[in-house]
């Protein structure tokens, strides 16, 4: 940056490189919209006022706002490589991303993280990768890798930005030496503590953990803010929390809230966007548009130390959204460091995908037959109860097998043959099965269905590279995920076509409203979100840290 040139342009002595004229400019510091010109030179905002430029754009009737930051996401959840994801997300106004690559890390370790970083090089966006904190998620899980505090230290020296979501809450509260060693590596630490409160929350925050994206009630959110934490209001494909958490936001505490997508599938990213969707929801719920944009841009930039970002103000990076409406529903153009990178929903940049050959053939299953997909039922049997719009489950007891689906979690990294089984209520599959190599966070094979034949066929379709499958009456439809069993190596358009064919086949199985089947299935094996989950060993009671039964 030529500081002298910037000062000269700001003072009106020289013409700017670019001026957006006569726009409604979002002042996220003052909480208002002001009329004026936005002057940009050398990729930096010189000023807001009255300016002339070498290039001038008519902003009359339009709004200029800072581009958005996704405060917590996993690129893997969209099932395409990061560079393909960014071609979808940037046109929706998001140019900064705090990404946790713990999905691929659980399959491929540090090499997977290196791949993710390489895949976004040269993309016009600010992508900060966190060091996965829990690989595996808990000592009870069987993953493809194990990352230690020594690995975290190597990651920090290699440029990883902070410690990703610390979901081993019992390890933090009990002062587990291995957990404390990881916390000691980074100053910037993300949290994951569903349901935690009181003295436990005090201890968690005292450990240096500054954020949480797992709040499901306004009361939880308010308590975290009062303990000095930031609350990331999540709007994913299955877990949708923004509307429930907005009542906790007040004029006094608004600066402690921000948005994240966490886990959004490819359909939702394509149709609804990500953080722009959160802004729309907030405005629909009565939040002032400038405050909504502040939570989408300024708050995460300050919380994560993204200096010079998050506002339309002198000296800030010219990361801008031009919208035809005040709630960013009609985004006309997106700028990153003063360069237009997207226009009318289309990315204007190309990508150079990194080599992913090392991450193929990662699905290694022991031989199995249909008998493996059975579980004797008895009245009063413990089952996993699921509900719409949430990842939180219940530990229920069923008196009848009517309406239940069988869930199996199969170890897939070392072909050990280990398999856990449990019944699920509320999922609503009838006449078939679905299977996936996306099973948070260890990513073993998860399959759910109402008959052994279709379950076995759905699983057989997944080896050796991985994917998602639907089977009904012996007929299998599959979407390939050949990068670590998590992401497709195809373009987003090709992957989306495969996914839509898969969902078309799934529609015939009569799924329940409010449930995104593959996203929910992927979280039924995550043993850090209450109340009952299944891993390769058996049905696990998260609240009590014990197995209800094994096998």
| Euclidean distance between the first and the last CA atom of the chain, given in angstroms as a whole number | 61
pLDDT the model gives residue 513 = 82
Neighbouring C-beta atoms of residue 521, cutoff 10 Å: 26
What is the distance between the alpha carbons of residues 231 and 210, in angstroms, rounded to a whole number?
Answer: 9
Q: Using the 8-state DSSP alphabet, how is residue 377 labeled?
A: -
71, 306 Cβ separation under 8 angstroms: no
DSSP state of 311: S
- Closest among 20, 85, 71 to 230, alpha carbons compared: 71
Domains of the chain: 66-309 (3.20.20.140), 360-550 (no CATH)
Closest CA to 468 of 413, 506, 441, 430: 506
Q: What is the pLDDT of residue 342?
A: 98
pLDDT at 514: 83
The overall average pLDDT reported for the chain is: 96
**Predicted confidence (pLDDT) per residue in 433-456, tens digit:** 999 999 998 999 999 999 999 999
Q: According to the model, what pLDDT value does residue 137 have?
A: 87
Amino acid 1: pLDDT: 74
Q: How far is CA 237 from the centre of its chain?
A: 10
Q: How far is CA 301 from CA 294, 314, 497, in A?
A: 10, 16, 35
| Portion of the chain with pLDDT greater than 70, in percent | 100
Residue 213 C-alpha from the chain's centroid = 10
Is-contact 432 473, C-beta < 8 A?
A: yes
Length of the chain: 551
What does the pLDDT read at residue 323? 98
Where is 382: in which H helix or E strand? strand 381-385
Using H for helix, E for strand and C for coil, what is the string for 49-61? ECCCEEEEEECCC
pTM of the model: 0.94
Per-residue pLDDT at 256: 98
Regions of the chain with pLDDT less than 50:
none
DSSP per position, 277-296: HHHHHHHHTT--HHHHHHHH
DSSP of 20-83, one letter per residue? EEEEEEEETTTTEEEEEEEEEETTEEEEEES--EEEEEE-TT-EEEEPEEEEEE-GGGGTB-HH
Chain-centroid distance of CA 197 in Å reads 24
What values do phi and psi take at 382, rounded to 5? -65, 135
CA dihedral of residues 464, 467, 468, 470 (deg, nearest 10): -40
What are the helix and strand counts (H, E) for the chain? Answer: 17, 28
């Amino acid at each position: 940056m030529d500081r002298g040139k910037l000062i000269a342009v700001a003072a009106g002595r020289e013409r700017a490189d670019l001026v957006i004229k006569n726009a409604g400019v979002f002042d996220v510091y003052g909480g208002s919209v002001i009329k004026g010109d936005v002057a940009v030179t050398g990729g930096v905002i010189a000023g807001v006022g009255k300016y002339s430029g070498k290039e001038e754009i008519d902003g009359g009737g339009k709004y200029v706002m800072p581009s958005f930051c996704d405060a917590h996401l996993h690129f893997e959840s969209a099932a395409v490589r990061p560079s393909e994801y960014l071609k979808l997300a940037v046109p929706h106004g998001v140019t900064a991303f705090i990404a946790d690559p713990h999905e691929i890390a659980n399959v491929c370790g540090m090499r997977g993280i290196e791949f993710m970083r390489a895949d976004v090089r040269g993309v016009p966006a600010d992508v900060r990768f966190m060091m996965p904190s829990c690989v595996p998620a808990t000592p009870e899980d069987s993953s493809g890798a194990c990352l230690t505090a020594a690995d975290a230290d190597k990651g920090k020296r290699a440029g990883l930005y902070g410690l990703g979501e610390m979901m081993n809450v019992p390890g933090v509260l009990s002062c587990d030496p291995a957990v404390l060693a990881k916390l000691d590596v980074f100053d910037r630490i993300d949290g994951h503590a569903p349901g935690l409160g009181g003295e436990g929350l005090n201890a968690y925050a005292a450990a240096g953990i500054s954020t949480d994206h797992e709040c499901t009630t306004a009361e939880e959110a308010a308590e975290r803010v009062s303990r000095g934490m930031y609350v990331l209001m999540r709007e994913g494909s299955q877990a949708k929390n923004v509307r429930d958490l907005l009542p906790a936001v007040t004029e006094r505490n608004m600066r402690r809230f921000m948005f994240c997508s966490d886990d959004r599938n490819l359909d939702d990213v394509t149709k609804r966007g990500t953080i722009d969707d959160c802004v729309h929801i907030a405005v629909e719920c009565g939040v002032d548009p400038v405050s909504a944009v502040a939570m989408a841009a300024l708050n995460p930039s300050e919380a994560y130390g993204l200096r010079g970002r998050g506002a339309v103000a002198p000296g800030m990076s010219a990361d801008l959204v031009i919208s035809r409406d005040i709630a960013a529903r009609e985004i006309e153009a997106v700028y990153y460091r003063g360069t237009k990178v997207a226009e009318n929903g289309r990315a204007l940049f190309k990508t150079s995908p990194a080599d992913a050959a090392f991450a193929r053939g990662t699905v290694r299953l022991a031989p199995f037959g249909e008998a493996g997909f059975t579980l004797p039922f008895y009245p009063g049997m413990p089952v996993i109860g699921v509900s719409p719009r949430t990842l939180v489950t219940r530990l229920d007891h069923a008196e009848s097998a009517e309406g239940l689906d069988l869930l199996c979690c199969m170890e897939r990294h070392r072909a050990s043959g280990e398999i856990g089984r449990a019944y699920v209520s509320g999922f609503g599959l009838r006449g078939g099965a679905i299977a996936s190599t996306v099973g948070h966070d260890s990513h073993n094979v998860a399959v759910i269905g109402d008959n052994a034949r279709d379950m076995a066929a759905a699983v057989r379709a997944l080896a050796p590279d991985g994917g998602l499958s639907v089977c009904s009456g012996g007929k299998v439809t599959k979407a390939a995920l050949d990068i670590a069993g998590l992401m497709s190596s195809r373009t987003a358009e090709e992957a989306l076509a495969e996914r839509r064919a898969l969902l078309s086949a799934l529609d015939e199985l009569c799924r329940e409203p409010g449930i995104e089947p593959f996203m929910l299935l992927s979280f039924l094996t995550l043993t850090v979100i209450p109340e009952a989950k299944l891993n390769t060993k058996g049905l696990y009671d998260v609240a009590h840290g014990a197995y209800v039964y094994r096998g």
